[in-house]
Amino acid sequence: MLRYTEDHEWINLDGDTGSVGISPHAIEQLGDIVFVELPEAGATVAKGDSVAVFESVKAASDIYSPASGEITEVNEALLDDLSAITPDAAHDCWLFKIKVSDAGELDEMMDEAAYTAMIG
């Protein structure tokens, strides 16, 4: 189940664990990505916590956790080649996996159609 936040994160829930990334639109808006900071596996986070940072040439952007839970895995391989983070690859470029403590949090989030409508 794929859901989006208003801050352009996506979460793809499989069972009780979701992988999290940022949308093609967000990657396009960032432009050249020059630095990424990922969270640490094992951390417990609340929905809306700042959990990662994307730095582009011009600005830093916080990435917020779309759900509450425990971070179980972090995609360190992503850091090997930041130029591979492109709009087309957005849904392959997961940042971390989170064991969601309250799947109900996703009910209020946007599905693909609603998100596409939001970004116009």
Partner 1 sequence: MGTRQTPLYDFHIANGARMVPFAGWDMPVQYQDGIKAEHLATRDSAGLFDVSHMAQVWLSGDGAEAMLESLTPTDVGAIAEGRVRYSLFLNDSGGVLDDLMVARLDGTLQLVVNAGRAEHDIDHLRAHLTADVEMIHHEDRALLALQGPKAPQVLARLGVDLSGFFFMQIGHFTIDGIETIITRSGYTGEDGFEISCSADRAVQLATLLAGDDAVTLAGLGARDTLRMEAGLPLWGHELDETINPVAAGLRFALSKRRREAADFPGAAAIMKDWNNGAPRLLTGLLPQGGRPVRDGAELTLNGELVGLVTSGGFAPSLDAPAALGFVDAALVEPGTELMAVTRGRETPVVTAALPLVPHRYIRG
Q: Are 103 and 69 in contact (CB under 8 A)?
A: no
Q: What's the distance, CA 98 to chain centroid?
A: 11
Q: Going by DSSP bridges, is the β-strand pair 96-100/9-14 parallel, antiparallel, or unpaired?
A: unpaired
Q: Is 35 in the site for partner 1 (CB under 8 A)?
A: yes
What's the rounded Cα separation, in Å, for the pair 108 and 41? Answer: 26
Question: Which residue of 14, 15, 40, 59 would you call a contact of partner 1, by CB under 8 A?
Answer: 59
Q: Is 60 in the site for partner 1 (CB under 8 A)?
A: yes
Q: Is 37 in the site for partner 1 (CB under 8 A)?
A: yes
Question: Which residue of 34, 46, 89, 114 would you call a contact of partner 1, by CB under 8 A?
Answer: 34
Q: What is the 3-state secondary structure (H, E, C) of 11-45?
A: EEEECCEEEEEECHHHHHHHCCEEEEECCCCCCEE
Residue placing its CB nearer to partner 1 in the complex, 2 or 119: 119
Q: Minimum Å distance from CB 15 to partner 1?
A: 34
* Nearest C-alpha neighbor of 71 from the set 49, 47, 97: 97
Q: Is 89 in the site for partner 1 (CB under 8 A)?
A: no
Residue placing its CB nearer to partner 1 in the complex, 44 or 86: 86
Among the listed ranges 2-10, 52-60, 88-96, 99-107, the one in contact with partner 1 (CB under 8 A) is: 52-60
Which residues in this chain contact partner 1 in the complex, by CB under 8 A? 31-32, 34-35, 37, 55-60
